[in-house]
Amino acid sequence: MKKSINTFLKHPIKDSTNRSANPPIARASTILFDTMQEMYKHEAKIKQHKNVTHYTYGRYGSTTTIELENILKELEKAYHVFLTGTGFGGIALALMSLCRPGDEIIVSDNVYGPTKEISEKLLKEFNIIAKFYDPNSFDDLKKKVTKKTKLILVENPGSNTFEFQDLSKIVSLAKRKKILTLLDNTWGTPLYLKPLELGFDMSFSSATKYFSGHSDAMGGSLAVNKKVFKKIMFFYKLSGYRMSADEAYLIIRGLRTLDTRLKQHYQNTKIVINFLKKQKKIIEILYPHKPGSKNYKLWKKYYTGATGLLSIVIKSKNKSSVIKFVNSLELFGIGYSWGGFESLAILQELKLSKDEYSQGRKFFKYNKNEHIVRLHIGLEDPKDLITDLKQSLRYIK
């Protein structure tokens, strides 16, 4: 029977041994075989990328992580999915597997801060040069391509500033120049955008966020095509960048309700945005909510839905009053990450500075007395969230 992805997420991996609705948590370091011949045959199966229910050693994963790999392979339409212990581990896995001394990579300027740090600081020590391009300018990306370009790393939409890019143009350019491509798809998830079907070589998601959905697990998912599989598998097995069985179990549990949760996040976000756009102190909402705008058109072109993360631009001569606005929110927690059931708020420091590890945006245009607050709209009653925002906005001077 052919099933929709929404039905598929509810039905895989039942535990036939214990007759439970969810798979068991298999914690293992040593995997036992009856004979050496059986071990050799199993190792050959893994090398040939055949479906297996277990690996030969715990560093590669367990039956629980394999179950999660299989769910995400279907969701991503991928050749294989690598699971890492943290979200950022998936980005690091791709870069360390594929980039070598003398290579150049081109990175969208709006990426997650640690992605910028590893690209700009750590890779430089290995003689791998990162160039950053304006996510609002495809021409700027094209100008930065050279014969040394190994990889284009795109985050769409961008962390905190939410620029949407013309993804097909980027893929076409990369294929002509024989450059590998990686898309950070954490915001949209493979439920709403499948990068590999667009032609990207790799699709990354922080499983910590919407996959888990409950703010109690960490992990990364790197979905790949056949072209890059062997190189990434080589480094993956050596590095030990794997996810624990306990985290995999929690993320499997979260994926059961991914579709339902994302719909509610989006519905709540639309209601909250309708309130925010009427507030004089908020001069811009960074989210694809304006029909006719460039970002809205590019969102509609590629995505089948939207999620609950956005930023607001606040005009104020008094930064401390913006901080007071964030501090006074009762229903919005103050903290990193997002994608869980709860609402969050955080003031973003995106201006470039002389700090060695500045994560500022080179191409994002700040005007005087503007401040960015990132909001994650959770699964609370949106009327209560609006009441909370309303009482806190009064502190902005």
* Digit-coded pLDDT (tens) for 304-353: 999 999 999 999 999 999 999 999 999 999 998 999 999 999 999 877 65
Q: Are 344 and 310 in contact (CB under 8 A)?
A: no
Nearest to 78 by CA among 223, 231, 207: 223
The mean predicted confidence, pLDDT, of the chain is: 93
| pLDDT value at residue 351 | 72
CA distance 267 to 288: 14
| pLDDT value at residue 353 | 59
Q: What is the average per-residue pLDDT within 98-105?
A: 98
pLDDT over threshold 60, residue 67: yes
| pLDDT value at residue 165 | 98
Structure-derived torsion over alpha carbons of residues 278, 284, 289, 291, reported in degrees to the nearest 10: 100
pLDDT over threshold 80, residue 195: yes
Between 286 and 31, residue with greater pLDDT? 286
pTM > 0.85: yes or no: yes
Task: Please give the domain boundaries of the chain with CATH numbers for all domains.
Answer: 5-255 (3.40.640.10), 258-393 (3.90.1150.10)
List pLDDT tens digits, range 196-246.
999 999 999 999 999 999 999 999 999 999 999 999 999 999 998 999 999
Residue 355 pLDDT level (bands cut at 50, 70, 90): low
pLDDT over threshold 90, residue 272: yes
Residue 20 pLDDT level (bands cut at 50, 70, 90): confident
Q: Are 295 and 288 in contact (CB under 8 A)?
A: yes
Among 17-21, 127-131, 314-318, the minimum mean pLDDT is found in 17-21
Residue 16 pLDDT level (bands cut at 50, 70, 90): low
| pLDDT value at residue 22 | 76
Single-letter code of the amino acid located at 334: I
Q: What is the average per-residue pLDDT within 5-12?
A: 78
pLDDT over threshold 50, residue 357: no
Contacts of 309 (CB under 8 A, 6+ apart): 187, 338, 339, 374, 375, 376, 377
pLDDT over threshold 70, residue 284: yes
| pLDDT value at residue 12 | 62
CA distance 138 to 238: 37
Output DSSP code: residue 158. Answer: P
pLDDT over threshold 60, residue 37: yes
Nearest to 82 by CA among 297, 240, 318, 285: 240
| pLDDT value at residue 58 | 83
Question: What share of residues in the chain are helix, strand, coil (percent, to 5)?
Answer: 40, 15, 40
Residue 360 pLDDT level (bands cut at 50, 70, 90): confident
Q: Give me the residues paired with residue 153 across strands.
A: 107, 182
pLDDT over threshold 60, residue 376: yes
List pLDDT tens digits, range 42-56.
999 988 888 888 888
pLDDT over threshold 70, residue 280: yes
